Amino acid sequence: MVAFSNSHDFAVSMDKKDPLAHFRERFHFPKDPSGNTLLYFCGNSLGLQPKTVRAYIEQELSDWEHLGVEGHFQAKNPWMPYHEFLTEKMANIVGAKPLETVVMNSLTVNLHLMMVSFYRPTNEKYKIVIEKNAFPSDQYAVKSQIAFHGFNPEEALIEVSPRQGEDMLRKEDIEQLLEEEGHAIALVLLGGVNYYTGQAFDIERITMAAHKNNCLAGFDLAHAAGNIELQLHDWQVDFAVWCSYKYLNSGPGGISGCFVHEKYADDTSLPRFAGWWGHDKKTRFLMGSEFYPISGAEGWQLSNPPILPLASLRASLDIFEEAGMQQLVQKSKLLTGYLEFLLLEMKNDRIQIITPKDERGAQLSIRIKNSNKALFNQLIQTGVICDWREPDVIRLAPVPLYNSFVDVYTFVQRLKSVL
Ligand SMILES: *Cc1c(COP(=O)(O)O)cnc(C)c1O
């Protein structure tokens, strides 16, 4: 344990000791109109642009310019197998085998594709468990899948919520629900980290409880990938999906990641929505009419993927590989711990950190009692980018790849000045 101290000198000394500090230089930080660098705490929403992204994309533009269609095979990084260049790096970030990992489509699309294969309701076992106040897109996707199978979302959707007067979901409550109602539940679909509260769920325990009751377990890792330690393979997760534009810095609307556990790699009993890019690579261009899926997650691909977004994601994954997920998680705990320490040091009754101390990633969600958006607007006037969620929550994500201890210290000074 590091003994934190509430001073600028201390923050500077932490940055000096930080083995990852130099990665900050690899990112573009937004500036205000007078050219002052803004404090950026929105990496949970849109990660910053790696400075190398431009060159990665320009390589593909140049190959397209000079080679046209021949770029599929003759580009410096041939487009035909381009997505494969990202597989192993992405697999390492989520604790998966390359066979279990693919980058394709966008998040909500992948969520639907996974439910097509893994939500197989019967008249007895048809319910889906999600967290109350799950991200809206997930709610819409799940309800529409339930309705698509002819069930009533009002009845078939179970939303687990925190106990009265609490903000956090207790894993024992999820376990109890599965024990009691598991016979009617087909699928448990939770976030890895809740986007609003910042609570990280115990994916391993929830997966175990689901399997014990013959339910499948899928996870939306939008706020978890590149943020917390994940071991999807070892935890026996059935499937997972995540976007890459939050902690993974691939740029707005960036391409998504998808995990399908090895145990389904060649399971032809699973229905799926198929497309030609999921077809066996050896015979894809024979253009036959029978679909033979590639073994593993790649078999769920539909279309040939967009190379430019893959290029920008690749630039970012190369940085992740260099920094190492373990080291990032280690720094993240210190950095977010320091933010928490400074907020508590303020000894201001109006501030309540709703994110649980031992179940979280980088993000802290802080409730500011008796406040409204005017306070937040004042805060951003001081040169901070963070975000506001009605009615009274500020979400802050000090990102270990590019945020510093001095960033955190400076932020708290600015928060004090507006309170
Ligand atoms: C960010 C986020 C999304 C966004 O979905 P897209 O399909 O990428 O637009 C969905 N679900 C969760 C939980 C998210 O955090």
Rounded Cα–Cα distance for residues 398 and 41 (Å): 5
In this structure, which residue's CA is closest to atom 8 in ligand 1? Answer: 107
What is the whole-number distance in angstroms between the Cα of residue 222 and the centre of ligand 1? 6
What is the whole-number distance in angstroms between the Cα of residue 115 and the centre of ligand 1? 16
Q: What integer pLDDT is reported at residue 419 of this predicted model?
A: 87
| Number of other residues whose CB lies within 10 A of the CB of residue 273 | 11
Report the atom number in ligand 1 closest to the C-alpha of 246: 1
Q: Taking each helix axis from N to C terminus, what angle separates 203-212 and 171-181, rounded to the nearest 10 degrees? A: 10
Q: What integer pLDDT is reported at residue 287 of this predicted model?
A: 83
Q: What integer pLDDT is reported at residue 370 of this predicted model?
A: 87
Query: In a structure prediction context, what are the per-residue pLDDT tens digits for the chain, which is 419 residues long?
Result: 789 999 999 999 999 999 999 999 999 999 999 999 999 999 999 999 999 999 999 999 999 999 999 999 999 999 999 999 999 999 999 999 999 999 999 999 999 999 999 999 999 999 999 999 899 999 999 999 999 999 999 999 999 999 998 889 999 999 999 999 999 999 999 999 999 999 999 999 999 999 999 999 999 999 999 999 999 999 999 999 999 999 999 999 999 999 999 999 999 999 999 999 999 999 888 888 999 999 999 999 999 999 999 999 999 999 999 999 999 999 999 999 999 999 999 999 999 999 999 999 999 999 999 888 888 999 999 999 999 998 999 999 999 999 999 999 999 999 999 98
What is the whole-number distance in angstroms between the Cα of residue 140 and the centre of ligand 1? 11
Q: What integer pLDDT is reported at residue 284 of this predicted model?
A: 84
Closest CA to 252 of 415, 45, 8: 45
Q: What integer pLDDT is reported at residue 371 of this predicted model?
A: 84
User: Helix, strand, coil: what percent of the chain each, to 5?
Assistant: 45, 15, 40
What is the whole-number distance in angstroms between the Cα of residue 372 and the centre of ligand 1? 26
Domain at 8-49+325-418: CATH code: 3.90.1150.10
Cβ of 60 closer than 6 Å to ligand 1, yes or no, is no
Q: Would you state the CATH architecture of domain 59-322? A: 3-Layer(aba) Sandwich (3.40)
Cβ of 403 closer than 6 Å to ligand 1, yes or no, is no
What is the whole-number distance in angstroms between the Cα of residue 242 and the centre of ligand 1? 8
Q: What integer pLDDT is reported at residue 133 of this predicted model?
A: 87
Q: What's the maximum distance between 2 C-alpha atoms anywhere in the chain? A: 69
Cβ of 107 closer than 6 Å to ligand 1, yes or no, is yes
Cβ of 52 closer than 6 Å to ligand 1, yes or no, is no
Structural tokens at position 11: 């923050």
* Mutation probe of ligand 1 site: the residue of 42, 138, 199 with most atoms within 8 A of C-beta: 138
Q: What is the phi-psi region of residue 287: left when phi exceeds 0, alpha when psi lies from -120 to 50, beta otherwise?
A: left
What is the whole-number distance in angstroms between the Cα of residue 307 and the centre of ligand 1? 21
Cβ of 138 closer than 6 Å to ligand 1, yes or no, is yes
Closest CA to 159 of 180, 141, 144, 139: 139
Cβ of 247 closer than 6 Å to ligand 1, yes or no, is no
Cβ of 219 closer than 6 Å to ligand 1, yes or no, is no
Contact indicator for 407, 6 with CB cutoff of 8 Å: no
In this structure, which residue's CA is closest to atom 2 in ligand 1? Answer: 222
Cβ of 191 closer than 6 Å to ligand 1, yes or no, is yes
What is the whole-number distance in angstroms between the Cα of residue 108 and the centre of ligand 1? 6
Sequence spans of domains, the chain? 8-49+325-418, 59-322
Rounded Cα–Cα distance for residues 137 and 111 (Å): 10
Q: What integer pLDDT is reported at residue 286 of this predicted model?
A: 84
